[in-house]
Amino acid sequence: MSKQTDLINIPDAITVDGSNVGIGTSSPLSTMHLSTTGGGSVYLQDSNATSTYNISEISNNAGNFGIQTRNSSGTFVSTDYQIVKNASGADYHRWFTQGTERMRIDSSGNVGIGTSTTSGWQTSPLIVGTGSGNNGLTVYSGSSNSGSIYFGRGTSGSDNRKGQVAYNHSNESMTFHTGVDERMRIDSSGNLFVARTAEGDGNVGHTFRADGFSQTTRSGGLVADFNRKSSDGDIVRFQKDGAAVGIIGASGGDLIIGTGDTGVHFHDGVDSIIPWSVTAASYVNNAIDLGTASYNYKDLYLSGGVYLGGTGAANKLDDYEEGTWTITDQSGAGMSLTVYVSTYTKIGNQVFFEFGIVFPTTSNTADIKLSLPFLVKNSGDNTGGGAITVTNSGRNSDTVLALRNSSLLALATNLNSGVRNNNFSGKQLRVNGQYTTT
């Protein structure tokens, strides 16, 4: 044993072959080669350890490598680590605590924490959980820092962080990122922001507050789209304390809005807004008022007519107008009249008028003819006239006539003869009247 290459052989025990030592083998293959039939092990014991479980065992059983714990008497306590082999080498690694497997790496590189099933999942490189009870994964960060889970596709540029879920401990917010950029955030109050980082109508995106409020802003486009398929009915329902107060819906391809038996149907097929009952899901007739006796609408602007008391042509009021007109002498005398009042009200084809004038001093004997605001209807007889209400001419009994198919008013005596200009020379004439226009 004077040289390193000397061979010492203690039969059935130890073989020293140069720098290799064999125990249980006469042909050691490495610096230390232990061999035995039926599996072998090595005990590592700390004799000064205060713990009873002071032996660590390294074993090789049927080619499977393991580390176990034994007590000071050599009694087995628990398996701590194990490599299970097959013909290709290590099939899987197992880690134990308190004798229970806690983690496994299989031959495909899949890692199971809390489970021994490392294949068959949607994605398998890392599986965490026991399959029973509550399980989880914790990212531990500083109180003023963030903890993140990243999704990458490479190491160049931003490829290492194309997706991210992050929790910021400084402001207690959680953010979600795609394509590097933040897309959604939940703040410390539980408010959810999508495509924005803070609340505000000027910020494009969505806010869903923890108190139930929501707000959406879009720039230059449709803000919301609600689509009901297959059947007519409610599209949006509004409620107060769980009770319905109104809906927006669809019927026959048209929009309906209402509550209970009071609603409207916007019918573009006939270009009409039609009374509708939400309850009955049908049209209603003569059942819904516009305003009440105490609460009225102000002005109604119409370019057509109004049917009052019925739907026949005789019930249609298609015109209402109030105004003034300039009364002129139409007798041919060319007189200049002094007008102190001239007003009319036109309801449909009925014209109600009032005027007050003063004639100039004249000796003209032409029959009086004055202008009217609208053409008089052409009929078999004159269709209207009036009465003198004020005059200082002494001619209160004269008849006022609206001449058919003209815009002229004339005065006649009770003998149906014309009243002349000189009969009212320098005199006042005030008349109220009515006639039918075209």
pLDDT in tens, 5-56: 555 556 557 888 888 888 888 888 888 888 887 777 888 888 877 778 778 8
Q: How many whole angstroms separate alpha carbon 30 and alpha carbon 102? A: 33
Q: How many whole angstroms separate alpha carbon 179 and alpha carbon 213? A: 29
In order of 161, 175, 207, 220, 263, the CA distances from 204 in angstroms are 25, 17, 10, 10, 34
For residue 116, give both structure tokens: 């021994």
For residue 215, give both structure tokens: 């707000």
Q: What is the CATH number of domain 320-436?
A: 2.60.40
Q: What does the DSSP assignment read for 54-122?
A: -EEEEEEETTEEEEEEE-TT--EEEEEEEEEEETTEEEEEEEEETTEEEEEEETT--EEES-S--SSSS
Q: How many whole angstroms separate alpha carbon 324 and alpha carbon 397? A: 26
The predicted-structure confidence for 276-299, as pLDDT tens digits, reads as follows: 999 999 999 999 999 999 999 999
| Predicted pLDDT of residue 65 | 87
Q: How many whole angstroms separate alpha carbon 341 and alpha carbon 355? A: 5
CA distance from start to end of the chain: 144
Residue boundaries of the structural domains of the chain: 36-128, 146-217, 233-298, 320-436
Q: Where are any strands of DSSP class E within 98-228? A: 100-106, 111-113, 126-128, 146-151, 163-168, 173-178, 181-186, 192-194, 205-208, 214-217
The predicted-structure confidence for 344-395, as pLDDT tens digits, reads as follows: 999 999 999 999 999 999 999 999 999 999 999 998 776 789 999 999 999 9
**Least confident interval from 54-63, 123-132, 179-188, 200-209:** 54-63
